[in-house]
Structure 1
Amino acid sequence: MGMTDTKNVLLAGASGVLGAHITEALTRAGHTVIGLGRGPGADVRADLMDRDGLLRAVEGISANTVVHAATALRRAPMKHSDMYATDDLRLTGTGHLMEAARAVGARRVVAESMVFGYGYRDFGDRLVTEDGDPFGEADDRATARHVEAMRVKEELVLGDPGIEGVALRFGLFYGAGGTDALVDLLRRRGLPAVADHGRVLPWVDLADAGRAVALAVDGGRPGRAYNIVDDTPMGFGAHVKAVAAAFGTPRPLNVPAWLMRPFPYAHRMATTCMRVSNARAKAELGWAPARPGCVEGLRALAAA
C-alpha cells in the first residue's frame, strides 16, 4: 500500500464516532485519510497495543500527519474499570503510535485529549485555561489512573523532539452519532436527569471537534495544547433535559446525584464542575463552535 502524497493523514480511530467526523472534516479540507484500526473496514488493520504488528502494518505507507483519536470505549463508562482499556491505550498505545508516526515519515501528530485531565473536581466559577491550570494532577486514587493516562499521552505527543505535536482537550461530546444513545434511553424512560445544583461541564459538538482536528493538522503551534469546548457550559442533568426537549422524548425523572454512586465513574463526572476557556483555540487555530451551546446544537441536530 504505497502512499506518498504529503496530504495523507493516518487516522487512528477512524471507525469511531469522532473518527467519522474527523474524516469528513479532513476530506473537506483536501486531505486523504488513511484509516487505522482493528476492524475489517480499516485501510490499515492494526492494534495500537501490538507494537510489532502496528509497525509491520504501516510499512510502505507515507503520511505527513498522524491523528490519534483511538479509544477502547464502546459505550458510556459507568465504573472506573470501564476506563482502564482506554487508559492503557493512552499509556502504552500512544508510544507505539509515535513509533509508527516516525516510520511513515510524519511531521505532525495531533492527539485527542480531554478536559478531565485537569481533574475531576469543582473548579468553582473561574475559567480553566491551558496556561493557568496544571494538567495531569489527580485529586484522589479513584481518578488518578485516568488523569495520569491523559497526562502521559500528551507528554508523548508534545515532547517528541522530532514531531510537531498538538493536543486537543475536548469537552464532553454530543452531536450526530453521539446523542443517539441518549435519545433512545430517554424514549424508553431509561435515563434520569441528575440534579446539577449549579454544577456545569464543558461540551463540544462532534462536528465542531472534527473541524478542530482538521485545523490543527494544517496549523496550530507545535508543542501546544488547546481546549476545544463550546461557549456555554451546562450541567449533565441540564444536558439530558435539553436532549429530551429537542427530540420530544418523555421528560426525564429528576434524581439526586447520590443515586448514581453505584456507578462511580459516571457519578464523579456528573458531579464535577468546570468552566473551560476556548480563547486560545479561537486565537491560534481560528476555531469556534458553530453554535454557542448544546441547546442550539441539539435543536439543529433534531431538526436535521
Structure 2
Amino acid sequence: MRIFLAGATGVIGRSLIPLLKADGHEVVGTTRNSAGAELLATLGVAPAVVDVFDAEALLGIVKRAAPEIVIHQLTDLSAGLDPASREKVLAGNARLRREGTANLVRAALAAGARRLIAQSIAWAYAPKQPPYSEADPLDSAATGLRAITIAGGVIPLEEAVLGQPGLEGIVLRYGELYGPGTWRMNPEGLSPVHVDAAALAASLAVTRGSPGMYNIAEPGGSAAVAKAMSELGWNPAFRRAGRL
C-alpha cells in the first residue's frame, strides 16, 4: 500500500520504517528539515519537508502523496522534560496533538485515505484500580500539568481521529517507551513498552484491527493489552534483529 508517515524521523517512526518496507509498502515520510529528508532517503522513504502547523502546505503534500493509509507518529518532545521547562514542553506537545492532528485528519480526508493510525498514550485514564481497558474513560477532570497533556492534547487527538465518517480511525495508546533512541534503555513506569514493539503495533494496524483504541504496553502492567494481542496479532516481546 501507499502510506503517508507523519513523524517519520521520530523515535517510533525510525523503527517503523523498516517494518513497513519489509511488508512491501511504499512510504512517504514527513520531516521538518533537510537533514531529516536526507536520512529518510537513505531508508528508502520519499521525504516530505513540511510543518504540520502549516495546514495548507500539509494538505497539498498529502493530496499529492495520495495515500491509502496515514500514520500519525508526531510528537514534540525532543527538548526533553527538564523541570524548568516542563510546562512549556508539555503545552507544545499538546498543541501538536490538538492542532497538528486536526490538520492531518483534514488532509487525509481530502486525499481519500481510508485509514488513519495515530499515536496516543496509555497513562491518560481516569483514576481507578488497574488494569485499565480501552473502554475506561480518560481523565478529563485532570488538573495541573496532567490537564495540559490530557484535556489539551490527548482527548482532542483521539476525538479527531475516531470521529470521522469515512475514515477508519485507530488510536494506539502507547505505554512508557524504552529502548534505542528513547529516554531510557530499561522498562520503567506502570505500562512500559519497547520502541520496536510499539512500531510493530503500528505496522500491524495498517491491515488489521477494527477502528477504535488499543493499549500497547507489556502484559502485567496497568494497561490491559489483550485487545491488541488478539485483534492486531501484536507481540509485545518483538524486537528487530540485533536489538536489545
Counting matched residue pairs gives 226
Other-structure match for 1:13: 7
Other-structure match for 2:207: 218
Q: C-alpha displacement at 1:59, in angstroms?
A: 4.0
Other-structure match for 2:44: none
Q: Identity of paired residues, percent?
A: 35
Other-structure match for 2:96: 89
Other-structure match for 2:66: 62
The letter for the 2-side match of 1:56 is G
Structure showing greater Rg: 1
Q: What's the TM-score once normalised by structure 2's chain length? A: 0.85
Give the alignment of 1:99-138 within 5 angstroms.
Answer: 99-119=106-126, 123-124=128-129, 126-131=130-135, 133-138=136-141
Q: C-alpha displacement at 1:283, in angstroms?
A: 1.2
1:280 is aligned, of 221, 227, 234, to 227
Q: C-alpha displacement at 1:102, in angstroms?
A: 1.8
Point out the more displaced range, 278-287 or 32-41. Answer: 32-41
Q: How far apart are the structure 2 equivalents of 1:86 and 1:14?
A: 16
Q: What's the TM-score once normalised by structure 1's chain length? A: 0.69
Cα distance, 1:159–1:32 mapped onto 2, change above 3 Å? same
1:44 is aligned, of 45, 48, 62, to 48
Other-structure match for 1:32: 26
Q: How far apart are the structure 2 equivalents of 1:59 and 1:168?
A: 24
**Residues 152-186 of structure 1, C-alpha deviation per residue, up to 9 Å, x if partnerless?**
1011001101200000000000112225xx47xxx
Cα distance, 1:136–1:94 mapped onto 2, change above 3 Å? farther
**RMSD of aligned Cα (Å):** 2.0
Partner SS for 1:128: coil
Other-structure match for 1:142: 145
The letter for the 2-side match of 1:33 is V
2:198 is aligned, of 209, 216, 221, to 209
**Residues 114-146 of structure 1, C-alpha deviation per residue, up to 9 Å, x if partnerless?**
012215x6x44x311111x20242432331121
Partner SS for 2:104: helix
Which consecutive residues of structure 2, in runs of 5 or more, have no partner in the other structure?
Answer: 38-46
Q: C-alpha displacement at 1:232, in angstroms?
A: 4.2
Runs ≥4 residues deviating over 6 A? none
- Report if aligned partners of 1:54, 1:100 keep a CA contact under 8 Å in 2: yes
Partner SS for 2:64: coil
Q: C-alpha displacement at 1:301, in angstroms?
A: 4.7
**Residues 49-80 of structure 1, C-alpha deviation per residue, up to 9 Å, x if partnerless?**
11112123334221100001011110432322
